[in-house]
Structure 1
Amino acid sequence: MSTSQKDHQEIPPHLEQKKLIEFLESLHRIFKIGIYYPAGHKVLDQAAEKFQRNISNVADTNRSVLIELHNETLHVAGHEISAPTGALLEIKKLILDLGIGSIEIDRAIPLPELLQLVSSLLLWRSQLQGIKEFTQADIANLPVSVRILQKEFLVDESAILPDGNGEDAEHGLHSVFQALAEQGVERDRIEQCIR
Structure 2
Amino acid sequence: MAPAKTHVVHYIAANLPGHSVVLVTAEQMLDMEEHFALARVLQPCIMVFEDVDLSGRSRDDISGQKAETRLNRLLNELDGLGEDSDIVILLTSNRPRSLEEALAIRSGRVDAAIEIPLPDDDCRERLFKQYGQALDFQDGALAEAVLRSKGASAAYVKEIVRRLAQRSIMRGVAPLV
Q: TM-score range by the shorter chain?
A: 0.3 to 0.5
Larger Rg: 1
Higher strand share: 1
TM-score normalised according to structure 2 size: 0.32
Tell me the TM-score normalised to structure 1 length: 0.30
- Structure having greater relative contact order (Cα 8 Å, sep ≥ 6): 2
